[in-house]
Every structure is written in C-alpha cells, then in structure tokens.
C-alpha cells in the first residue's frame, strides 16, 4: 500500500464508541459496506506497480474498509495528531529483484525509500522500524551485507533504527528476503504539502535525471541482451529538500518522489487531486542517453519508469528561481530544473509538448512492464 491518509487519534477519551468505529462520530462498518468497488477477481502483478491498478485496489478496497471511506487526497505519509502534536508516519515494503544491483541493494533502498516518503511530505525522519521476511537457506553473509547497508544508509540519512521484527519462511517463498520499513518524522517549519493549494502558473521542478533506477534493475536481471553504464539513483533526498525549503518554503505547494509508475503517474495523481492540468516540456526533462536508448529499444515511456533518488516539487512562480538555485548549488542537485507548469487545461490530465512541436496526453502507468523494481 503506497498511499496513506491523514489521521487524528480520539482526543476526549470519553468512551464514545463511535470515535473508535469511525471518524466524525459515525460508525465505520455501516458506511463502508456499500462503498467497496474493487471487482478484480484476483491480484495481479499490476496491482503492485503503482499505476492505475494499484490506485483501483487502494481506492476500491483499502480506503473504504481501512481509511473510513474518505475522499481526501492520499499521500506518501500520514499526518497523525496525538494530544495536539503532529507527526508524519509512513511504511513501505521492498521486494526488489535482484537483491544487489549497480548503485545499491535492497537494504539501502529500504532506508532511503522510507526517508524519501517522509521528506516529500515535508518531514524529517526521526526513527525507523524494520521488518525482515527471510527465506530458509539464505546465506548469513547476504543478510549481513544488507544489515550493514541499512546501518550505513541510516547514518547518512540521520535516522535511528529503533526496533523491528523477523520472520522466516520456507525455501522458495521469498527470493532471499523482503524488507519492510516504517518511519516516523517531524514536520519542517513553514512547509505545507497540499495538492489543493496548487494554482495555475505554479512551476514543476524535477531534482535530476529520470529512469536510472528502473532501467538499472531491468538490466541487472540479465534477461535482456543489453549493456549500459548505468547505476540506480537510490539516495536520501532529504538534504536537497531541506536546502530548497530554507530558500523557498512558503512557495512549496506539493512534492512527491516518483518511484513506481514514474513521473507520469505522480503528476497524474496530482492533476486529479487538484483538478488542474500539468503541462510538461519533453525537451526540458533531464534523462541520460542510456535510459533514453533502453526505453526506445524496449518500447517504454521513460515517464513511467521508476526512480528512487529524485523528487518532483510544485512551487509558486515567485519562489521558483530561489528553489532551483538552492538545489543546483547542493551536491546531487546540479541537474535540478523546471520541466513544466500547472495550467487550467487540460483539466485533471498531464500533457507533454514534444521537441518537434507536437503534444501528447500521458496517462498513469497501465499494467506492470517492470515488476519488482523496489
């Protein structure tokens, strides 16, 4: 489950059972029973790809039964209020195959991914829990390498791993290991992420080249007779976001790390949530030649390919220069740039203008062309 909802815990403690059955004093069971809309007969790989099928599963089954059937936009981290204090919470599972790949591994990915979900929600990760699902027969050396990778990534990110859980399953059931990380964070001052605050004229900023992670994983599996000097972009983007916030916090409207489903899916979700159009300039989107070439050969749209170390930001026009300048002067942010803007039309859609003067509508990811990339 990628998307999460803002929650507030019951404050009064007066024993009113409705506060526990559903928010707003309404019993949850009666209101959600008729709202379950998920009709797919079985779960397919596409339901975990972050695209349309994932959205259908979350909105049609999880949200009605688990999120009190809310119509509020879903984000990368929940805002939870406890006795008047707000914290950010998020959780993510990692099933990437192979476990190691150029530029990273599942352990490093698990820390960076959760930290990034907090960062693009405007929060600094403070503590993390980790759950391992290990396969019987996994060499201890492999597990040790991933634990070391997690420790190093956590130290770089400035987060403390405070606990977790371990389960072991039979041989052939887990491809070595799966990892789930859950993070809790403290919100940054003056940074408010809300898709409904996005306005026409706002600029779309991208922190760097797209597609590195997805294409790297695809090539690392050795299933294609292709070679390229490419590495995953996995990293913690918190330092970049903190730097941008120092210079442009009041102008930051929305952020998202475009992982599964890529840039196209993240921006389509934004377009739908804010009711406006997103217009991108294809020529301005940074992309390595290796990624462009692989996508052309394989018939992939790079805008749908996963990233693990980039983020998108929507920034008010008067703060755009300050935000881009701050990013470009920070290590790892040299390629940050404006790739488009928010407009009234096309409503609830993403339009890409091509370098040849044409244009095309880009939808959310359909199907799962690159399964298990994170």
Q: Are residues 250 and 350 in the same domain?
A: yes
- Buried/exposed code over 190-209 (b: 16+ C-beta within 10 A; e: otherwise): ebebebeebeeebbbbbbbb
Residue that terminates a domain, selected from 165, 187, 209:
187
**Would you say residue 7 has pLDDT above 90?**
no
Distance CA 29, CA 65 (A): 8
Residue linked to tokens 């990437």: 96
Distance CA 133, CA 165 (A): 9
What's the pLDDT score for residue 10? 41
Half-sphere exposure of 288 (CA within 13 A, CB side): 20
What's the pLDDT score for residue 369? 77
Bridge partner list, 164: 130
Q: Is residue 28 part of a domain?
A: no
Q: Is residue 45 part of a domain?
A: no
- The 10s digit of each residue's pLDDT in 135-160 is 999 999 999 999 999 999 999 999 99
User: Which candidate, 370, 242, 271, 253, places its Cα nearest to that of 319?
Assistant: 253
Q: Is residue 133 part of a domain?
A: yes
Q: Are residues 202 and 125 in the same domain?
A: no
Q: Is residue 2 part of a domain?
A: no
**Would you say residue 174 has pLDDT above 70?**
yes
Backbone angles phi, psi at 15, to 5 degrees: 85, 5
User: Which candidate, 304, 310, 314, places its Cα nearest to that of 336?
Assistant: 310
Q: Please answer whether residues 248 and 315 qualify as being in contact, where contact means their C-beta atoms are separated by less than 8 angstroms.
A: yes
What's the pLDDT score for residue 12? 40
Q: Are residues 229 and 247 in the same domain?
A: yes
Pure H helices in the chain: 17-21, 28-32, 52-57, 63-66, 106-119, 140-157, 212-220, 238-248, 262-274, 289-298, 317-328
- Here the CATH number for the domain that contains residue 200 is 3.90.650.10
Bridge partner list, 133: 167, 178
Q: Are residues 226 and 116 in the same domain?
A: no
What is the number of structural domains in the chain?
2
Confidence band, pLDDT 50/70/90 cuts, at residue 226: confident
Distance CA 198, CA 248 (A): 15
Q: Are residues 289 and 159 in the same domain?
A: no
What's the pLDDT score for residue 29? 45
Q: Please answer whether residues 205 and 286 qualify as being in contact, where contact means their C-beta atoms are separated by less than 8 angstroms.
A: no
What's the pLDDT score for residue 49? 86
- The 10s digit of each residue's pLDDT in 13-35 is 333 333 333 333 344 444 555 58
Q: Are residues 179 and 254 in the same domain?
A: no
Distance CA 214, CA 217 (A): 5
What's the pLDDT score for residue 34? 57
Grouping H, G, I as helix, E, B as strand and the rest as coil, residue 237 is: coil
What's the pLDDT score for residue 182? 98
Higher pLDDT, 28 or 127: 127
Q: Is residue 356 part of a domain?
A: yes
- The 10s digit of each residue's pLDDT in 57-72 is 998 999 899 887 566 7
Share of the chain above pLDDT 90, in %: 79
- In this structure, what token pair is assigned to residue 30? 């009666």
Q: Are residues 247 and 338 in the same domain?
A: yes
Q: Compute how many other C-beta atoms are within 10 angstroms of the C-beta atom of residue 297.
A: 10
Distance CA 203, CA 220 (A): 35
Confidence band, pLDDT 50/70/90 cuts, at residue 367: confident
Q: Are residues 305 and 202 in the same domain?
A: yes
Give the pLDDT mean for 285-306.
95
**Would you say residue 309 has pLDDT above 90?**
yes
Q: Are residues 183 and 272 in the same domain?
A: no
Domain range for 168: 75-187
User: Which candidate, 74, 91, 92, places its Cα nearest to that of 7?
Assistant: 74
Distance CA 47, CA 193 (A): 26
Q: Are residues 167 and 246 in the same domain?
A: no
Distance CA 351, CA 348 (A): 10
- Here the CATH number for the domain that contains residue 82 is 3.30.1330.10
Q: Is residue 1 part of a domain?
A: no
Q: Are residues 316 and 347 in the same domain?
A: yes
Confidence band, pLDDT 50/70/90 cuts, at residue 4: low
- In this structure, what token pair is assigned to residue 50? 């972050």
Q: Are residues 166 and 296 in the same domain?
A: no
């Amino acid at each position: 489950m990628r998307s999460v909802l803002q929650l507030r815990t019951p404050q009064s403690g007066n024993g009113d059972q409705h506060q526990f059955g559903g928010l707003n004093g309404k019993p949850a069971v009666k209101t959600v029973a008729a709202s379950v809309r998920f009709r797919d007969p079985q779960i397919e790989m596409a339901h975990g790809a972050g695209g349309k099928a994932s959205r259908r599963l979350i909105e049609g089954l999880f949200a009605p039964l688990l999120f009190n059937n809310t119509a509020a936009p879903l984000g990368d981290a929940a805002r939870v209020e406890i006795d008047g204090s707000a914290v950010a919470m998020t959780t993510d599972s990692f099933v990437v195959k192979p476990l190691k790949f150029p530029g990273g591994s599942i352990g490093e990915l698990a820390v960076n991914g959760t930290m990034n979900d907090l960062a693009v929600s405007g929060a600094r990760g403070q503590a993390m829990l980790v759950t391992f699902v290990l396969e019987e027969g996994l060499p201890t050396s492999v597990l040790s390498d991933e634990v070391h990778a997690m420790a190093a990534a956590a130290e770089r990110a400035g987060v403390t791993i405070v606990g977790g859980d371990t389960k072991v399953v039979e041989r052939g059931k887990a491809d070595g290991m799966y990892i789930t990380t859950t993070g809790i964070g403290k919100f940054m001052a003056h940074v408010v992420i809300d898709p409904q605050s996005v306005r026409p004229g706002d600029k779309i900023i991208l922190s760097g080249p797209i597609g590195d992670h997805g294409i790297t994983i695809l090539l690392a599996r050795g299933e294609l007779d292709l070679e390229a000097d490419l590495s995953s972009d996995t990293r913690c983007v918190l330092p970049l976001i903190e730097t941008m916030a120092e210079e442009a916090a009041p102008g930051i409207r929305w952020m998202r790390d475009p992982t599964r489903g890529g840039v196209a899916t993240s921006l389509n979700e934004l377009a739908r949530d804010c009711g406006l159009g997103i217009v991108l300039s294809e020529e301005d989107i940074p992309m390595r030649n290796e990624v462009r070439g692989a996508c052309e050969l394989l018939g992939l749209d790079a805008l749908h390919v996963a990233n693990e170390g980039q983020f998108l930001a929507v920034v008010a026009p008067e703060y755009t220069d300050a935000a881009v300048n701050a990013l470009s002067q920070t290590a790892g942010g040299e390629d940050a740039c404006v790739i488009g803007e928010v407009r009234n039309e096309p409503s609830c859609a993403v339009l890409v203008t091509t370098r040849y003067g044409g244009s095309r509508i880009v939808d959310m990811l359909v199907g799962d062309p690159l399964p298990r990339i994170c």
